Structure 1
Amino acid sequence: MSQPGNLASMARGGSVNLVGAAVTGISQFALVLLVATLYSAELSGAFFAATSVFLILGALCELGCDVGLLRWVPRHLALGRTRDAARCVDAALIPVAGVSVLVAAGLFAAAPFLAAVLDGARTGQTTSMLRALAVFLPVMAAANVLLAATRAHGKMRPTVLIDRIGRPVAQIGGVALTLVLGDEPALLTLMWALPYLPALAAAAWWYRGLRRTSPPQAEPPAAIRTLAAEYWRFTALRALARVCQTALQRADIVMVAALSSPRDAAVYTVASRFVVFGQLGTQAVQQVMQPVVSRQLALDDRAGAHQTFSVATVWTVLLTWPVYVTTATAASLYLSLFAEEYHAAGVLPVLVLSLAMMFATAAGPVDTMLLMSGRSGLSLLNTAAALAIDVALGLVLIPRFGVLGAAVNWAVSIVVRNVLSFVQVRAATEMTPLSRGLAWATGATVLSFGGPLLLLRLLGASTPVLFAGLVACAAIYVILLWKIRERVSLTALSALLRRRTRRVAAAPVIEEV
């Protein structure tokens, strides 16, 4: 496969995934805004803490199969081993089903204890929230594994339609319905979790169709035990890393609720939710990059893998830095969307997290490169080290500095993890995300957003003027990207769009991705 073909493949999948990422980011932000507006800060904080526990345990239940499948299924398919690819999915689903049921039962039983830790004043309400969520742990885990299987087949559309658009939008609708059905905490969490059921049904249906249409296997199938052992040797380490990674993203909310108060947990959630826009942009690129790099490394195409790595970094910066540069230079603009009680304590945390995320995205998808090159052990060590730093600093900083302390310890852990991964990728693969395209991408975002917004802030511009300035910055950014499109590898996307235009003119067929 040619390198231009790989970039076109990434552009095709990334363009579809980016639409889903945008909807998910807006939906998650809208959900936080809706809950923070409709409910008190105390109840909102308890809800955010309970759902964070749910997502951390959900990562445990998935056993790292999202990356395991994206590592092995594309390799089997590239070598013509379609039956082995199907067996990999079976080897993933059965343990996930068993573990998720056990973890759900444990959460249901331990709910009163966890509720006392998170919110001693509202133990009964928080207990009911945790128990309502426990029922949906196996559902969420199975749905996510099946969606990972469809991505491993090179199909991004199921993930986009089901997990990026359908479920988040349905969750907003469910939370909004609580205004009519009642404002009980258990009902709030139930309506938030209920969309995982149709998501599971849709994911199972989509994967079943892919499995049926797979071509016959070109080679004799490997023994089931051998294949499963090979799969789990890689994935078992990733299971722990996946839990650590999700905990790294969500543990701060739980720690703030436990060490400070649910109200501060709500403030911290509001102050850190802008990060999700950038994270989803990063995921939009990485989820497309993973099977491409896996195939390239399986075929020993190191030059192609290096190019994919570099271009993915550039595209990630182009997608995420507009958000992070904006929040770094105009944190008050972002916080103005929420109630006044969230403003004073949120400005410095927003600034700290913005700078940390700018550093992390500029370092590139280094963890993905470790995983796709088979170094899941290093990925686990890096994530575990970052989580240990996050928890240790949190125990010291959160009781003393509250929301700001949580932001600082998360920022430090993010920087440490990315520095470790960067050094290891360079040493193990001799690949680096640094390129001239990356310099152009960072310069374009800082010039378009950072300079104008910082000038407006120094001039004391009001919130409406800042919003108008942000619109102007976006226009400048689009024009600048068009001027430097070849330098930042956007020509692959424009070529894709031209080919699609010709196909649409020839026949009304939509290509599956």
Structure 2
Amino acid sequence: MTRRASPGAGARVEAMLERLALRVLPSPLRTRLAPVGRRLRGVLSGEADEARAQRMALVVFATRIFGAALAYVMQVLLARLMGGHEYGIYAVVWTFVVVLGIFTPLGFSSSVLRFIPEYRATGDEDRLTALLAGSRAAGGLAATLVALVGIAVVHLSGDLIASYYVLPLVLGAVCLPMFTIGSIQDGIARAHDWTLLAMLPTFIWRPLAILVGMIGAVMWGAPATATSACLVTIVATWGVTLVQGLVVARKLARLRGDAPRRRPARESFAFGIWLRLSLPILFVEGFFQLITSADVVMVSFFLPPDQVAIYFAASKTPALAHFVYFAVRSATAHRFSRLHHAGEGQELARLVDAAARWTFWPTLALCGVLALVGPFLLSLFGPGFLSGYPVIPVLLVGVLARAAVGPVDALLTMADQQSACARVYMAAFVLNVALNLALIPLFGILGAAVATASAMVFEAGALACQARRRLGVDPLVWRGSGDGGAV
């Protein structure tokens, strides 16, 4: 069941904008802007899939803008507080948590977008209740097992892992289970169009809690080390996820209304069906994350923590342009699924074309800005970080390549082509690792950037080919036609 936007809210916003235009804008300018106003009216009040997707994209976009700025500020302040060496250690540990946190949900963080609308549409409340409970339980258990194995590996590794990484890695493992459950809860919220509930905990409340907690800990006398930052991250992650879980439970109870809550029968836990769809999605998302995160880990194999810190800061700067892609992906993924499975091919093609445009042009503008202000942004991290600037334009090439095809990975996944998507990501990951191994020893952090950007360009081209061949739509932004880009 998809919640509709309130027409009253849209009408109020529209009336407010009209009054503002009458007071501020001269008459000739109001006339020229009238088509834009009609377009905005359609986005605010329309109930068509494209209008609803645009509304959701605007909310997600605004949240990701603020979240990206907050995360960047957090990284700057952590680097300033901790210094390059300790910040580099924390960057490696957090990268491990993020990468493993993509695999440990077992694909449920995205597959719930496929199953929840289906079960709500068919009225299968038992299967829905089982999915809501079983997905989080399975992800939490998988994350706990991975964390225990990781702790064992760290302790048994001896001198293979530098001593300054040991305790922070163990603390990162403690953070993993709740990080995983939070990812699945994000998917549950998105499947119900609870956009802010899906976005705020991950992109606003958790980084804000880490930032405030770390500053508070240092003010109270704690050492500004990677270990302290990991302890603060554990408290922030567990606290935010638990609060989000309570809010999700309350909203789900409201959807049930007066219907009594029943314990689903054992046969309602269709893990076989769920995993057949979830596991290919797991590999899609896992290899996607590996493509953009493996470089940080591999830099830590060859270079000291202070160089890792410089590369991490430089790689996070192009990532500021990436949030456009993620915003559009969040807004359109479950709509791709519904349109594809409803057989509405023309509507699907139009949405694919629109999603590519929504992704590419704002990303292009942001890339231009970041290329100009990159030196200033890196200087905020502290002395020595400016040496990482050459990494930024190289990585921006990869960001633009991915933006040029829009959220085509979500299209393939939601259209039951997740296996083909996973194969593309696996190939891109292998290419990324091979290039990193070859280029980092020769060119240092610049070699890591070239390797990652090359893998992203390959990934974008291969996914576009899969979409054309398997679904008959061309996601490339400059090839979309006026009727939606159908081939």
2-structure distance, mates of 1:297, 1:83: 25
Q: In the superposition, relative to structure 1, how do residues 365 and 319 fare at CA in structure 2: closer, same or farther (>3 Å)?
A: same
- Which position in structure 1 is the counterpart of 2:378? 335
Of 293, 296, 303 in structure 2, the residue corresponding to residue 260 of structure 1 is: 303
Q: Is the CA contact 1:78–1:295 (under 8 Å) kept in the aligned structure 2? A: no
1-structure distance, mates of 2:217, 2:156: 26
1:153 aligned onto 2:195: no
Return 242-251 or 397-406, whichever deviates more. 242-251
1:101 aligned onto 2:141: no
Task: For 1:278-293, list aligned pairs within 5 A.
Answer: 278-293=321-336
Task: Spell out, residue by residue over 1:150-197, the C-alpha distance to the aligned partner (whole angstroms, 9 max, x if none).
Answer: 111221120123222211211111222232241243222111232112
Q: In the superposition, relative to structure 1, how do residues 254 and 115 fare at CA in structure 2: closer, same or farther (>3 Å)?
A: farther
Return 75-84 or 233-242, whichever deviates more. 75-84
2-structure distance, mates of 1:159, 1:228: 24
1:65 aligned onto 2:114: no
2-structure distance, mates of 1:264, 1:358: 26
CA shift for structure 1 position 363: 1.6
1:397 counterpart letter in structure 2:
L
1:243 aligned onto 2:278: no
Task: For 1:429-508, list aligned pairs within 5 A.
Answer: 429-434=471-476
1:191 counterpart letter in structure 2:
V
1-structure distance, mates of 2:349, 2:159: 50
- Which position in structure 2 is the counterpart of 1:28? 71
2-structure distance, mates of 1:377, 1:258: 31
CA shift for structure 1 position 113: 5.9
Unmatched segments (≥5 aa) in structure 2: 3-41
1:381 counterpart letter in structure 2:
R
Return 268-277 or 198-207, whichever deviates more. 198-207
| Aligned residue-pair number | 433
1:136 aligned onto 2:187: no
Q: Is the CA contact 1:257–1:263 (under 8 Å) kept in the aligned structure 2? A: no
CA shift for structure 1 position 108: 2.0
Q: Is the CA contact 1:86–1:211 (under 8 Å) kept in the aligned structure 2? A: no
- Which position in structure 2 is the counterpart of 1:348? 390
Q: In the superposition, relative to structure 1, how do residues 437 and 429 fare at CA in structure 2: closer, same or farther (>3 Å)?
A: closer
For the residue of structure 1 that corresponds to 2:48, the secondary structure is helix
2-structure distance, mates of 1:417, 1:437: 18
1:197 aligned onto 2:238: yes
Q: In the superposition, relative to structure 1, how do residues 105 and 155 fare at CA in structure 2: closer, same or farther (>3 Å)?
A: same
Q: Is the CA contact 1:398–1:406 (under 8 Å) kept in the aligned structure 2? A: yes
Return 48-57 or 325-334, whichever deviates more. 325-334
2-structure distance, mates of 1:287, 1:20: 12
Q: Is the CA contact 2:318–2:370 (under 8 Å) kept in the aligned structure 1? A: no
TM-score (norm 2): 0.82
Q: Is the CA contact 1:336–1:343 (under 8 Å) kept in the aligned structure 2? A: yes
Unmatched segments (≥5 aa) in structure 1: 441-486, 488-513
Return 142-151 or 104-113, whichever deviates more. 104-113
- Which position in structure 2 is the counterpart of 1:126? 165
1:313 aligned onto 2:356: yes
Task: Spell out, residue by residue over 1:126-161, the C-alpha distance to the aligned partner (whole angstroms, 9 max, x if none).
Answer: 211111121121111112112211111221120123
Q: Percent identity?
A: 21
Q: Is the CA contact 1:27–1:172 (under 8 Å) kept in the aligned structure 2? A: no
CA shift for structure 1 position 421: 0.6
- Which position in structure 1 is the counterpart of 2:202? 163
Q: In the superposition, relative to structure 1, how do residues 168 and 116 fare at CA in structure 2: closer, same or farther (>3 Å)?
A: farther
Return 357-366 or 69-78, whichever deviates more. 69-78
Of 225, 231, 250 in structure 2, the residue corresponding to residue 209 of structure 1 is: 250
- Which position in structure 1 is the counterpart of 2:426? 384
Q: Is the CA contact 1:147–1:207 (under 8 Å) kept in the aligned structure 2? A: no
Q: In the superposition, relative to structure 1, how do residues 25 and 115 fare at CA in structure 2: closer, same or farther (>3 Å)?
A: farther
CA shift for structure 1 position 116: 5.0
- Which position in structure 1 is the counterpart of 2:218? 179
CA shift for structure 1 position 438: 7.3
